[in-house]
Amino acid sequence: MSKHNSRQSSGHFAGVPDKVMLHPDYISLSYSAKALLFEFALQYRGKNNGKLCAIYSQLKPRGWKSEATLRKALKELITAKLLEVSKYGMYGDGGRQPNYYAITWQPVNHIVGFKMDIQPTIKPIRQFSVELREIDTPKTTVKLNR
């Protein structure tokens, strides 16, 4: 008799890979930048990398208290190359369009009807596992239970 997995899906998984979290670029982030990175991971659904955004009015109900903190965290993630601007926002048509972003550990997706300022990619923008092989520091040599 075969085993039947009766576990039902408990929803979308939002996470940051261990290779990213072991990288010095992640380790050096502030807590606000790390929290924002997980907000982007929550938005990512597998086919929308490049159309992720950080709008204060949407993040405020999730616990964000300051637009200045949000802007600082965004700048920090971009500087650390954990996030890339995929489309710059603008004013026009009576409103403001937000900046859109891509997480760098996943390929940038082609999104029908959405024009980006960067090109979709087949491979991730960064190869964290390759980068970690070239770095040998105590913070990156954590043993994982596998």
Give the three-class secondary structure for 143: coil
What are the residue ranges spanned by the domains of the chain?
A: 18-135
CB-CB contact of 132 with 23 (8 Å): yes
20: exposed, middle or buried (C-beta count within 10 Å: 0-12, 13-18, 19+)? buried
- pLDDT on residue 141: 54
| Tokens 């637009």 found at | 67
Separation between Cα atoms, residue 43 and residue 125, nearest integer Å: 18
> Tell me: domain 18-135, CATH 3.40.50, correct?
no
Predicted confidence pLDDT, tens digits, the chain (146 residues): 455 555 666 677 788 999 999 999 999 999 999 999 999 999 999 999 999 999 999 999 999 999 999 999 999 999 999 999 999 998 766 678 899 999 999 999 999 999 999 999 999 999 998 888 887 655 555 555 55
Q: Where are the beta strands (DSSP E) in 14-117?
A: 83-87, 90-92, 95-97, 100-103
| pTM for this prediction | 0.84
- pLDDT on residue 14: 80
